[in-house]
């Protein structure tokens, strides 16, 4: 086999780098262009069924539930009641609107508007509940903050969307896998279907 000169090796390496950069650029463009065009409405009965799917998965007794507010308020209440967890706390995380996000911002650390005191979390088994795991960044940010406070967290959502997930992890417990933007019954009750369809950002 003919040996390659140093210049040829460098050229080959540069081609690899260029191809890699083009691939990363393509993936990023595809992510930015996702419009979550398929939307799915679910009923209160379907929400109850998802909760009944989740409860048998919980293999431990949790000391507390943390609600990821505001999206996790209703499912967290239902899951806490079904699991017999009486202590409920709230975490609220602020991210820039989707329209303002760039690649660097997606990886930036969030701003916590509300979060439990450390002494309430230390050495406690904490179930973090949100409605859905799309990109995953909100629920994951709460999980890391609980870990930093010395808690033992697990994550739980009604719906997991692996096609939008930006992370190398997934929720510990979930009721169903989906590729759609889920519109929950409380979204419609509060805002009406037209407003929900216009304003949803599909963030998770």
Render pLDDT for 176-200 as a digit per residue (tens, 0 to 9): 999 999 999 998 866 555 554 444 4
Q: Is residue 1 part of a domain?
A: no
User: Do 173 and 155 meet the contact criterion of CB atoms below 8 Å apart?
Assistant: yes
Residue 178 belongs to a domain: yes
Residue 88: domain span: 39-199
SS3 content of the chain, % helix, strand, coil (to 5): 45, 25, 35
- In terms of domains, do 121 and 69 share one? yes
pLDDT at 201 over 80: no
- How far apart CA 79 and CA 157 sit, in angstroms, is 10
Confidence (pLDDT) at 155? 98
Domain co-membership, 13 together with 95: no
User: The CATH number of the domain where 154 resides is what?
Assistant: 3.40.50.2020
pLDDT digits (tens, 9 = 90+) for 78-118: 999 999 999 999 999 987 665 455 554 445 568 899 999 99
Residue 17 pLDDT > 80: no
Q: Answer yes or no: do 27 and 80 share one domain.
A: no
pTM over 0.95: no
Is 204 part of a structural domain of the chain? no
Residue 28 pLDDT: 44
In a domain, 2, yes or no: no
Domains of the chain: total: 2
């Amino acid at each position: 086999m003919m040996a390659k000169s140093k210049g040829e090796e460098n050229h080959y390496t540069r081609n690899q780098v260029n191809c890699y950069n083009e691939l990363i650029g393509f993936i990023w463009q595809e992510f930015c262009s996702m419009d979550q065009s398929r939307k799915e409405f679910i009923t209160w009965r379907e929400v109850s069924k998802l909760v009944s799917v989740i409860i048998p998965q919980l293999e431990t007794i949790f000391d507390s539930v943390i609600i990821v507010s505001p999206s996790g308020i209703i499912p967290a209440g239902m899951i806490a009641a079904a699991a017999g967890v009486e202590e409920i706390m709230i975490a609220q995380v602020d991210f820039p609107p989707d329209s303002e996000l760039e690649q660097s911002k997606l990886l930036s650390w969030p701003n916590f508007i509300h979060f439990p005191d450390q002494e309430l979390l230390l050495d406690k088994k904490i179930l973090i509940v949100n409605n859905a795991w799309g990109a995953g960044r909100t629920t994951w940010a709460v999980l890391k903050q609980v870990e930093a406070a010395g808690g033992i967290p697990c994550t739980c959502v009604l719906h997991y969307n692996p096609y939008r997930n930006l992370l190398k992890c997934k929720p510990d417990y979930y009721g169903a896998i989906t590729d759609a933007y889920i519109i929950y019954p409380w979204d419609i009750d509060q805002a009406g279907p037209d407003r929900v369809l216009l304003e949803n950002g599909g963030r998770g």
